[in-house]
Chains A and B, each alone.
Chain A
Amino acid sequence: MLVRYLSQIGKYFLMLKEVFNKPTKWSVMRGLIFKEIDDLVIDSLGIVAFISFFVGGVVAIQTALNLTNPLIPKYLIGFATRQSVILEFAPTFISIIMAGKMGSFITSSIGTMRVTEQIDALEVMGVNSLNYLVFPKIIALLLYPFVIGIAMFLGILGGWMAGVYGGFTSSVEFIQGIQTEFIPFHIAYAFIKTIMFALILATIPSFHGYYMKGGALEVGKASTVAFVWTSVIIILVNYILTQLLLTN
């Protein structure tokens, strides 16, 4: 069991090495990158915006409802919303959702190419299929921090709207809360996490699609397995980075 996991991990890193080997012609690669930006990044904006806005609102309402003690200042609603959205909700929670959305798309599209011999066709022609398929996804997901930036903004906006229009706080108090004890490093921490998650989102689903065996049914199974592993790794990396960057 352990040996199997270790050999999978080894295989994963060998795959990464091969991704950066023997690059595809730039004129072809450019088109691939734009296509991935469209499929992975642009296509996710809608759902990310929707979820962020409403979850931001819920965070604000929950905080407000828990502040029953009149001695606790109202600006804490804005403060709590900002902290939870920027530190955890936008980078981690959205990435788990993206593990489902982008991840299953990546695994199933690469997996389908595997079972229909399209990957063999690339290799036989002399194309480095890993570079051809995975590299543009990694590059496209360099834009992932922008997605998370949007999620942060809309999450806080959602919190503000829910707080103000729900009658839980005033706009002034909320904005005061957003600015309270602002630590710039928290933003850096959030984006360091985001970049790591972007790499995980691009490569782990690719790994499961690329090395899958079997037919159409197995493509579905591989997508599920890839989602589980991508989420697990995101959660573990989140824990490790938080331990490393925020404690001491």
Chain B
Amino acid sequence: MIEVKNVEKSFGESKVLKGITTTFETGKTNLIIGQSGSGKTVLLKSLLGIFTPDVGTISFDGRIYSDLTSDEKRELRTEIGMVFQGSALFDSMTVEENVGFPLKMFTTKSAAEIRDRVNVVIQRVNLVDANHKKPSEISGGMQKRVAIARAIVNNPKYLFCDEPNSGLDPKTAIVIDNLIMEITQEYNITTVINTHDMNSVMEIGEKIIFLKNGILAWEGTKKDIFKTDNEAIVDFVYSSNLFKKIRKAQNKDL
């Protein structure tokens, strides 16, 4: 469980995060949604320690990040897996080397043990025939799978994904979303996903927080999202014509 308490972050004059308080639950896919520029990435990077909040605390199962020594922070980081928006695979390495990288860096495993573990996770994300290819030689969807495999190879307790399905076709996007949700439940990971894709929200929104201009404007589950009267979220959700039609259809049923 990750607890966020009253986190604020400014860049120069502009306050990007304004007093965010929430919890991200273990074994669930926690979604951060909101319009472009609402502060999703900044919040995620603050959770990761790439940005330091101006005020407020972030604690990982009781460990308050800002109170940790730099050794403890490093230790914590080895428990974190991250899937970047653009996959961020190392393009000088093969798929296999990319996935094995965290093990090579942070464990004392032998080359054979690393290979075995790498093959397990590569199979888990359903990648076939890609082990010896370079990232530039595989499709965007496959790159996402490699990025997920690399993020989970060292058995992380926390998994962060920044727009994991941006740039993918809707079908592949759903496959990737479901893969992340399955892995989260299977290994009981605390997963936080950044998205503005309503499809994802409906597929895997076990816990959703909605950011608007840096304020946490709403939180709930995917079921709650259609019942709420909160204007900001209704406005966000129904900015998609598809959902406007769904809502109309639902209203007819009622």
Chain B: CB-nearest residue to A119? B88
A interface footprint on B77-99 (CB within 8 Å = 1, 0 otherwise): 11010101110111110000000
* Chain A nearest Cβ from B95, distance in angstroms: 15
Report yes or no: B105 in contact with A124, Cβ–Cβ below 8 A: no
Report yes or no: B105 in contact with A125, Cβ–Cβ below 8 A: yes
- When distances are taken between beta carbons in the complex, the residues of chain B under 8 Å from A27 are 104
- When distances are taken between beta carbons in the complex, the residues of chain B under 8 Å from A126 are 74, 77-78, 105-106
* Chain A nearest Cβ from B12, distance in angstroms: 15
- Prevailing SS type, chain A contact patch: helix
Report yes or no: B50 in contact with A25, Cβ–Cβ below 8 A: no
Give bound CA distance, A25 to B74, whole Å. Answer: 14
- Choose from B85, B86, B105 the contact partner of A127 (Cβ within 8 Å): B105
Give bound CA distance, A116 to B147, whole Å. Answer: 13
Interface residues of A in 144-193 (CB under 8 A from B): none
Report yes or no: A124 in contact with B80, Cβ–Cβ below 8 A: yes
- When distances are taken between beta carbons in the complex, the residues of chain A under 8 Å from B4 are none
Q: Does A28 contact B (CB under 8 A)?
A: yes
- When distances are taken between beta carbons in the complex, the residues of chain B under 8 Å from A125 are 77-78, 80, 82, 101-102, 105-106
* Chain A nearest Cβ from B51, distance in angstroms: 11
* Chain A nearest Cβ from B160, distance in angstroms: 8
Q: Does A43 contact B (CB under 8 A)?
A: no
Give bound CA distance, A112 to B48, whole Å. Answer: 22
- When distances are taken between beta carbons in the complex, the residues of chain A under 8 Å from B74 are 126
Instruction: Evaluate whether A28 and B50 lie within 8 angstroms (CB atoms) in the complex, with A120-B88, A125-B77, A126-B74 already known.
Output: no
Report yes or no: A116 in contact with B106, Cβ–Cβ below 8 A: no
- When distances are taken between beta carbons in the complex, the residues of chain A under 8 Å from B84 are 117, 120-121
User: Which size bracket describes the interface of B in this complex?
Assistant: 20 to 34
Interface residues of A in 84-131 (CB under 8 A from B): 112-113, 116-118, 120-121, 123-127
Chain B: CB-nearest residue to A127? B105
Q: Does A24 contact B (CB under 8 A)?
A: yes
Give bound CA distance, A116 to B143, whole Å. Answer: 13
- When distances are taken between beta carbons in the complex, the residues of chain B under 8 Å from A116 are 86, 88, 91
- Choose from B50, B102, B106 the contact partner of A120 (Cβ within 8 Å): B50
Give bound CA distance, A35 to B90, whole Å. Answer: 15
Give bound CA distance, A192 to B176, whole Å. Answer: 56
- When distances are taken between beta carbons in the complex, the residues of chain A under 8 Å from B85 are 117
- When distances are taken between beta carbons in the complex, the residues of chain A under 8 Å from B89 are 118
Report yes or no: B77 in contact with A124, Cβ–Cβ below 8 A: yes
* Chain A nearest Cβ from B121, distance in angstroms: 15
Report yes or no: A117 in contact with B88, Cβ–Cβ below 8 A: yes
- When distances are taken between beta carbons in the complex, the residues of chain A under 8 Å from B48 are 124
B interface footprint on A27-39 (CB within 8 Å = 1, 0 otherwise): 1100000010000
- When distances are taken between beta carbons in the complex, the residues of chain B under 8 Å from A121 are 82, 84, 88, 90
- When distances are taken between beta carbons in the complex, the residues of chain B under 8 Å from A112 are 91
Chain A: CB-nearest residue to B160? A124
Chain B: CB-nearest residue to A115? B86
Report yes or no: B50 in contact with A124, Cβ–Cβ below 8 A: yes
Give bound CA distance, A170 to B92, whole Å. Answer: 52
* Chain A nearest Cβ from B79, distance in angstroms: 10
Give bound CA distance, A24 to B104, whole Å. Answer: 11
B interface footprint on A11-27 (CB within 8 Å = 1, 0 otherwise): 00000000000001101
- When distances are taken between beta carbons in the complex, the residues of chain A under 8 Å from B104 are 25, 27-28
- Choose from B80, B86, B101, B106 the contact partner of A117 (Cβ within 8 Å): B86
Chain B: CB-nearest residue to A109? B92
- When distances are taken between beta carbons in the complex, the residues of chain B under 8 Å from A117 are 84-86, 88
Give bound CA distance, A25 to B85, whole Å. Answer: 28
- Choose from A24, A35, A123 the contact partner of B50 (Cβ within 8 Å): A123
A interface footprint on B115-154 (CB within 8 Å = 1, 0 otherwise): 0000000000000000000000000000000000000000
* Chain B nearest Cβ from A7, distance in angstroms: 16
* Chain B nearest Cβ from A186, distance in angstroms: 40
Give bound CA distance, A124 to B78, whole Å. Answer: 8
- When distances are taken between beta carbons in the complex, the residues of chain A under 8 Å from B80 are 124-125
Give bound CA distance, A16 to B50, whole Å. Answer: 20
22 contacts between A and B (CB under 8 A): A24-B105, A25-B104, A27-B104, A28-B104, A28-B105, A116-B86, A116-B91, A117-B86, A117-B88, A118-B88, A118-B90, A118-B91, A121-B90, A124-B50, A124-B80, A125-B77, A125-B82, A125-B101, A125-B102, A126-B77, A126-B78, A126-B105
> Ordered nearest first, which 5 A-B pairs have the shortest CB separation?
A126-B77, A117-B88, A121-B88, A117-B84, A126-B74
**11 additional contacts (CB under 8 A) given A28-B105, A126-B106:** A25-B104, A113-B90, A117-B84, A118-B91, A120-B88, A121-B90, A123-B50, A125-B78, A125-B82, A126-B74, A126-B105
